[in-house]
Structure 1
Amino acid sequence: MTGEPWSTGFARGADGVVSVAGVDVHTLAATHGTPAYVLDEADLRSRARSYRRAFETAFAEIGAGVDVYYAGKAFLSVAVARWVHEEGLRVDTATGGELAVALRAGIPGADIGLHGNNKSDDEIARALEAGVGRIIVDSLVEIDRVADAASVDHPAPVMVRVTTGVHAGGHEYISTAHEDQKFGLSIAVPSHFHYGDLVLGSAEADSPAMQGLLKVLSRPELKLLGIHSHIGSQILDPSGFEVAARAVLTLRAELAKKTGVLVEEIDLGGGYGIAYLPGEVALDPDRIAKDIASSVASSAHDLGTPLPRFSIEPGRAIVGPAGMTLYTVGTVKPVRVDKASVRTYVSIDGGMSDNIRPALYGAQYHAELVGRLSDEPTVLARVVGKHCESGDIVVHEVQVPSDVRAGDLLAVAATGAYGRSMASNYNHVPRPPVVSVADGQSRVLVRRETEDDLLALDQG
């Protein structure tokens, strides 16, 4: 979309001062302080609409229905849950806390899903009480736990999460479909392997995924909605979705052949990539929708099975580009890297406590001075935080004006996803507020934490 990696409401005036949705950064800083997460409401809503419309159109052309789920783990607040639901999206939650926020927002239980590889008994009970539309079961053990919490009169609607072996996306930590990881049940048929004195698996055995599906069907307290797959995160190549979709549809057909049950829904996951740096190109909603729709139609035709209803989860693609983080520059320090080069370290009033991703798995971000115009030549800079940690780096390399100085306003793009939701109080730094901007106005969605908040937790 236009303006990436910044939101569509991002604009720089002739004086160099940036505004977002008509609110300039000096006003934002004076009103809400820094650091602050700034969320462009119109941009977020537009992206939600774009994905819903693109997938509804593409799947209608092949004769299938589709639901789009917003990934609560990327960022969730009461207001954001309401926005995406108003734009026709459902809400995917991964914990009891995320479920509580969605319910506080007034999202009907039927439009909420509950994920998680280690759901507590309390989370399962709360989901059933809320009447969630689906619980995604992640293991054979969990199938029994959900069934034991439900009843024959009120069966729990479940999907079985499977791993297809398709591995796509960014860092290994955020790739979620290869076999050696904690999520889901593998579609692959196990060979013999030893576990203590036991010999498990055989060429004739059902795959863990098939075992899970059969186990759900054996429990009358459960209603098998379908099969769920998720292959990774920050994915920019759609081919992985096509391979995974064929694998899941094949599993569906095999289950029907074995039991006569043709499940009604397939979730193809998501994790669609966004632009974090200038020049990067995000996945286009229309393109990815058409490619996936064409692929599933072809696979279903080859298998001789009717199309199910589908669901997808775009992930960070909805909220990520809609957000930026606004900081104030503090210490600026030139550091000689070698005999020929100097790197300028630009320290900001936040850091790894409000954006852990660069330190956690080397995620790359882009930063710019946003509070004034500078005609000075640029220098190679590293944007670092205030924490007592050498790895406290927010932007590893970026060109900034050579006259960057204390008091300047600096913004980091595309922090709407996994900024606030992964934030911490490391070094007892209070977490920043989330401020929405729309039509020349700003308002606080999530207030800034204070030192009083931190001390209130300490029982002395």
Structure 2
Amino acid sequence: MPHPLAPQLPDAGDPNALVEGVWPEGAERVDGALRVGGVDVREIAQQHGTPFLLVDETVVRGRARRIRTAFEAAFGADTDVYYAGKALLTADVARWMRAEGLRIDVCTGGELATALRAGIEPAAIGFHGNNKSELEIEAGVQAGVGTFVIDSPIEAERIAAAATRAGRVQRVRLRISVGVHASTHEFLATSHEDQKFGVPVAEAPALVARIRELPSLELVGLHTHIGSQIFDADGFAESARRMLALHAELGADDAPLPELNLGGGFGIAYTAADSPEPIEAIADRLADAVRTAADELGIAVPRIAIEPGRWIVGPAGITVYTVGTTKPVQLGAGTRTYVSVDGGMGDNARPALYGAQYSARIASRASTAEAALVRVAGRHCESGDIVVDAEWLPADVAPGDLLAVAATGAYCHSLASNYNAAPRPPVLAVADGDVRVLVRRESIDDLLARDAGLDAHGIDAHGLDADPLDARRPDANNLDAHPGVA
């Protein structure tokens, strides 16, 4: 029977179980403790402190190969897969993607710099964004970025001017707001009419004509993106049909549009209640819709591009916290236990932004205690700082337990902040039993170094090793000192 305080939550089941499809592939319990990529998370916590974001490199790369293979099988070997860097972009992640045959999609100067400094060849980079600054456009053109996605008439003029100054012809795509209302949260829907991305279908012909007038631009195709965290192919297929019709209208023998970018937004499972369609099925259904539309329009199927991000890195990541306090709250309908951890909306803003749901498990031990309804709360000074709204955990969850939250590989590090002057946690990678740092943990000194009102010499005098708040101190997470940790 559903709990009166969380009627949407499935029955408790085993509160130690790792739901397949939610937790990273290969994650398991050994002697009660959670292991990811062959490594016990307790060992990682001892060495690196908590909280930390851990991504399994083998899973990330395997999913990159899987989606590339799925779309190449459906559309042909010349399909372009761009990894949407906004999901999680570090130098190593960019290199993993390129090694697996994917291109990189960026949307700011910072993401562009990350990709370039990681050694990604500029021709393999696409540059997105609804308000790219003139400096960012200049930097991308000068670097030799493969394609820009034009989001407005103003951007067309700015990119053309930058390309003229650089003495080159810049390849561009035009983003279309195709009017498909994706079945997702309104903040994640990106192709309905009243919103900031792209240009409406009705305005596309005039802008395409203007782009073709600019000698420093080469229009290679159209682009659309209907939203994020979409579980089935219906919206993608309808978007593809509309885009093919516009593609046929705007293309001609003397002015071809060889490419069509259908965007990303493929959903993943965050909880046991989520059931996204397999990516292979989505690719096949999308290919069928494209071919049918092309046949009806009497045109050839263009070269297809997609832009997955979350689907690749989301399921490969977990965030591990240490429980600080537990507090049962008696309510009229029952009891809810608040389990507070040493992170929160500073390292995962998604629940506060749009009510995202997650799954959690005690990671440092298994328990035979009965299941209890808990709400995992963060440490920040906001009542909305909730990491997991409702979950079943063993009733003996206690201070000192390590708590892992699944499917945090996408948009957690990317959206992280320093709210309440909290340093951002590190991003760690595990592969073949080895753990390494992708992004180091911020320190208090890192935060204070940007405050121009402080004496820099005074900051330097307090090294990291002397910082009493540094989570990397060897005793910061002394699990032996916590009775709640086995």
- When normalised by structure 2's length, the TM-score is 0.88
Cα offset, 1:2, TM superposition: 8.5
> Could you say which residue in structure 2 is the equivalent of 1:89?
102
Could you tell me how far apart the structure 1 residues matched to 2:329 and 2:84 are? 41
Identity of aligned residues (%): 54
> Could you say which residue in structure 1 is the equivalent of 2:482?
none
Cα offset, 1:278, TM superposition: 1.8
Higher strand share: 1
Cα offset, 1:283, TM superposition: 3.2
Aligned-partner residue type, residue 161 of structure 1: R
Cα offset, 1:57, TM superposition: 1.1
Cα offset, 1:9, TM superposition: 2.8
- Tell me, yes or no, if structure 1 residue 73 matches structure 2 residue 86: yes
Cα offset, 1:311, TM superposition: 0.2
Residues 3, 10 of structure 1: 8 Å contact kept: no
Taking the TM superposition and a 5 Å limit, the aligned residue runs for 1:240-259 are 240-256=235-251
Could you tell me how far apart the structure 1 residues matched to 2:383 and 2:344 are? 11
> Could you say which residue in structure 2 is the equivalent of 1:321?
315
Could you tell me how far apart the structure 1 residues matched to 2:78 and 2:97 are? 19
- Tell me, yes or no, if structure 1 residue 126 matches structure 2 residue 139: yes
> Could you say which residue in structure 1 is the equivalent of 2:46?
30
> Could you say which residue in structure 2 is the equivalent of 1:213?
208
CA deviation string 1:197-222 (max 9, x = no partner): xxxxxxxxxx2122221111011110
Cα offset, 1:179, TM superposition: 0.6
Unaligned runs of 5+ in 1: 188-206
Cα offset, 1:256, TM superposition: 2.7
> Could you say which residue in structure 2 is the equivalent of 1:374?
367
CA deviation string 1:17-60 (max 9, x = no partner): 01001110110100111000000000000000000111111112
Match of 2:240, SS state, is helix
Cα offset, 1:141, TM superposition: 1.1
Aligned-partner residue type, residue 109 of structure 1: P
Cα offset, 1:4, TM superposition: 1.6
Could you tell me how far apart the structure 1 residues matched to 2:280 and 2:393 are? 35
Cα offset, 1:336, TM superposition: 1.1
Aligned-partner residue type, residue 389 of structure 1: E
- Tell me, yes or no, if structure 1 residue 358 matches structure 2 residue 351: yes
- Tell me, yes or no, if structure 1 residue 4 matches structure 2 residue 21: yes
- Tell me, yes or no, if structure 1 residue 310 matches structure 2 residue 327: no
- When normalised by structure 1's length, the TM-score is 0.93
Taking the TM superposition and a 5 Å limit, the aligned residue runs for 1:18-417 are 18-60=34-76, 65-151=78-164, 153-187=167-201, 207-256=202-251, 260-338=254-332, 340-417=333-410
Match of 2:427 among 401, 412, 434: 434
Count of residue pairs the alignment pairs up: 435
372-381 or 164-173, larger mean C-alpha shift:
164-173
> Could you say which residue in structure 2 is the equivalent of 1:203?
none
Could you tell me how far apart the structure 1 residues matched to 2:447 and 2:129 are? 28
Aligned-partner residue type, residue 182 of structure 2: A
Could you tell me how far apart the structure 1 residues matched to 2:316 and 2:208 are? 38
CA deviation string 1:318-368 (max 9, x = no partner): 000000100000110000121x40100000000010001001110000101
Match of 1:386, SS state, is coil
Question: Once superposed, what is the RMSD of the aligned Cα atoms?
Answer: 1.4
The verdict on how the C-alpha distance between 1:93 and 1:344 changes in structure 2, with shifts beyond 3 A counting, is same
Could you tell me how far apart the structure 1 residues matched to 2:26 and 2:19 are? 10
Match of 2:449, SS state, is helix
Residues 172, 220 of structure 2: 8 Å contact kept: yes
